[in-house]
Chain A
């Protein structure tokens, strides 16, 4: 789906003005609440260079999905799940964390640039914290020199 095809009523800037997508976020629908904070393309209203894909639990996220994001040109990819200890399905966020740390199969490929991968553990009421973390991730990935 191209950014120019559809335009949400909420999205203030016209389609042409939308920046390219820099970050892909795979976000659990029970963690930080983003339902009313996305445009029709799933971009974050507060930062349209972030494309969000909502999933039922962070435990469903395969390292392959994050690798695919980088391979296709995203500057960074982050996953967001509930607070560790509070997964609705008991263990999903813990398992993803272990996969990203290389402690659980299937692991993130060792060749992946770890600076471009992040994971956040936040509850539904922690949007402000989420915004701060995304901003700092943005500045991290933009400071990585293109190789």
Chain B
């Protein structure tokens, strides 16, 4: 029975990939570097972000002025700002491609549950990085974004006031205000969460042997070239400064569609409860997805024939999901170590079988001796072609 994932893979993913192979060639197909490209954009963001930080000032009275300086006066200021902005868009786009690709090629469940769950966390915090970045600009759009975000947070049941409190300070009369602390905290999040992401990526790769984190040079140059081209063709502009009596009027405000869509909906007058349901449905939905599909191969994993294993470690080196450990043996064998499979990690893929020259490891669904027997049976009784 074909699942919806298989149907989408055959009708959409593979034909698209075939086109991409024609355009980019197999070796440089971006779809084959779906995990490496978000990494590339992350580094581009780190680098340009660091340069922006040289001039940025995180206080209410100076933030906008420092952005103005970066945009109009600092050497290469607006170029770096534009690259930072478009790299953020690229990051979200390639993370989405990565997410949909692992989902629709069925690479997101069972023994891959750790990268999937950690991926959802990475995806969620990426939004926070983007949103806080947009607030730091402190032009009219940024002030509007901040106000709408505070209202959205306030509307959250029970803990809403507390959530909004993180963005506000309380004055002597007890009323909540946007102060210097608001901007400082946004900056702390905007810098701190990417650091957290480095830890999350360690979690992401925990069960992946040799994760492909780097794209080939030609593809890197293509992506960087594209980034420079877009930044050059459409440099970002700084909005007007928000007047002291600034009232958020929907039609004069421009918010980013990739990161600030909940705020866009709020500006468009949507019910806050509905927006929150939509926001929460994303991670929760992604979380339950793997459990909606029936397990492919329940309880199957690779088995080692202890008598044949020489402890050569070839299977251990080649296992793509960190499922094999080499353990010391004291069962009287003349070999020192024995390959041992962790059933929870095993993908039942058979790469260890291809690696073993001693017929010492097999997966139940395709035993190597059966393959050899089938070859011999098929050719039995035929004259030798090359003899």
Contact = CB atoms under 8 A, between A and B. Distances in A.
A53 B379 contact: no
22 contacts: A2-B381, A21-B382, A26-B371, A55-B350, A56-B348, A59-B318, A60-B363, A61-B354, A68-B375, A72-B376, A72-B379, A72-B380, A88-B105, A88-B349, A89-B351, A90-B209, A90-B321, A95-B354, A106-B357, A124-B10, A124-B14, A146-B385
Contacts of A125: 10, 14-15, 18
Interface residues of B, number: 53
Interface of chain A, main secondary structure: loop
Nearest to A75: B385
Contacts, number: 156
A106 B385 contact: no
A147 B351 CA distance: 35
A91 interface: yes
B32 interface: yes
A146 B386 contact: yes
Sorted from nearest, which 9 A-B pairs have the closest CB atoms? A85-B32, A60-B350, A89-B349, A106-B357, A59-B351, A72-B379, A75-B385, A90-B320, A73-B384
A9 interface: no
A86 interface: yes
B329 interface: no
B233 interface: no
Contacts of A22: 385
Given A72-B376, A146-B385, 4 more contacts: A51-B378, A72-B380, A105-B355, A123-B17
B353 interface: yes
B208 to A, nearest CB: 8
Contacts of B366: 55-56, 60
Nearest to B378: A51
Given A86-B32, A91-B318, A74 B350 contact: no
Interface in A57-84: 57, 59-62, 64-65, 68-70, 72-75, 83-84
B26 A85 contact: yes
B375 A92 contact: no
Contacts of A38: none
B376 A56 contact: no
A62 B354 contact: yes
B235 to A, nearest CB: 35
A69 B350 contact: no
B353 to A, nearest CB: 5
